[in-house]
Structure 1
Amino acid sequence: MDNKVSLQHYVTGAELANALINECSWFIHVMPDIATLRANARRITDLAEAIETVQRPEAFYSQTGLYEFQYTKQDSALGLALRRIELLHAGADLPFLAAADLRFLPGEWTLVIGESGSGKTSLLKAINGLWAHGRGTIAMPRHVRTLYAAQDVKLQAVSLKDLVCLPDAAEDYPDTRVAVALHEAGLGELIDELLKDGRDGQSWDLLLSGGQKQKLVLARILLLRPGLLFLDEATSALDTQAVYAFHQAIRDHCPEATVIAVMHDVSPIRSASGADFFDSVLAVENGRAEKTPIAAWRQAEAG
């Protein structure tokens, strides 16, 4: 120590250091627990802030881009109206899809067509308040129930009856009505298992095929009878005959519903009798969405 620390001071200092360590040993042992508690407290705080944020989607979306959508209600006799719609990606200044003025009248069926990635699903999401960036006015029909059916169906681990009745409570519907809806959707073989949450320890999400899941969504539609229905590739897992049956069931049981459907394969757009299911076509192409009567669209396709 270059004669700067005596042996007495060294021994005394070492004893004091050991005493200090012994006195603080409890703190050393609990430090990992304190760090974990602090991290968990931060996670809980972040979760609370996220819960608060999602209550204000406009403010959340505006953090990463333009959000100027206006959602209003109008007389149900006027149907659904879109005015000056522009859809953007996060951080972009120019829209990838625009639509001037679109109107969907009560009971009208509209087929949405376009290349993959053209913005068909994005438009449906924007109408339902699920698209993050853009501008425009969406006037929804007042007092009309809306149902959005997506291509990929994820089923919760609940009873089959619960799955058909969602988002309503299963107690709101008698078993017989739910059973009839399953039968009309082509799932009559599952009626005996209506109150079960699966089979052999597996949930319905694992037991049902893609086509069966889409038929289950059809059963939900037939039970809830929405007045405004969005079908986003909702029949992609069904064969041609099942697609006919899917649309015909909606025609028969929801005759006043406004239907807007995205489809890649447009071959089954006519019923078995040859009548058109759809009244109009909304073509999404080159960043524009334009709506025409189906007769005019057929003529243009033929020409």
Structure 2
Amino acid sequence: MATDESGADEVAIDAPTYFRIFKSGRIERLHLPPALPAGLDEATGVSSKDVVLDSSTGLTVRVYLPKLQDPSKKKKLPVLVYIHGGGFVIESAFSSSYHNYLNLLAATAGVIVASVEYRLAPEHPLPAAYEDCWAALRWAASAQDEWIAEHGDVARLFVAGDSAGGNATHDMLVRASGNGDDGPTSIEGAILFHPWFGGSTLIDGEEESSWEFNARFWAFVCPGAVGGSDDPRVNPVAPGAPPMEKQLGCKRMLVCAATEDKLFARERAYYDAVAASAWPGTVDWFESDGEEHVFFLNKPECDKAKQLMDRVVAFIAGA
């Protein structure tokens, strides 16, 4: 074990360039991309603004409105709630990575995006992030915001997220199915970009080091998890987990993966479980060959990222 500069605290979990977690529970956040302000994005024509939903917790949503091609036609746009990744411990809806990507997504797909700035662990362990995302999803569905009320079609509500945000997207589907405290919410579709799942038992194709890391990390971000890394929130296919068809409160789903992602085996297992279940919806699989985890955030202009965007646009459009 390494020690920090004072020699007083041992490192428990080390994710180089991203974060370092100490046995005391302290975290060093190493990945700190610049935060960008909301406003007009000249490159895409997308306008954005920040809406504070709960000043006591800091829960905020950044709303993106694409340039209207013909405002006189009053065409209603789909509404997509986006949940950023970062292992529930780093990143932000305001970071350059997400702000730039969601400007591009809003413009290309012709969709209003509501990106959630939720509370992070360890200061706020799970389920705090889930609760924030659920509150934001319910807010978007209520069309309280003037942009969503005037230009959005909440009957075409989508939820999406990458990595930990993909994990949270699944939790939103569980809640939307009616298993949450607030009753069901109608969701047209869900997009899981390289979602983070785990489990107590190594599965085919999964690296032992990745499996062991994820189990320790889950215990850190969700210390109250029942069943450890077989908690259904991180392992929806664990023994004893509810049948998949009772977990999915949406009509359609797209699961996206990258072949060089260490989470690939878990992502495929999740997709296979959904496809084999009695869930009446439709699920599609999209694979980016030769790419790594959430590559599209770092290089959105590469060919594989454009292919992924094309598939996402088609999915939102109903194809």
TM-score by length of 2: 0.28
TM-score by length of 1: 0.29
> Which structure shows the bigger proportion of residues in helix conformation?
1
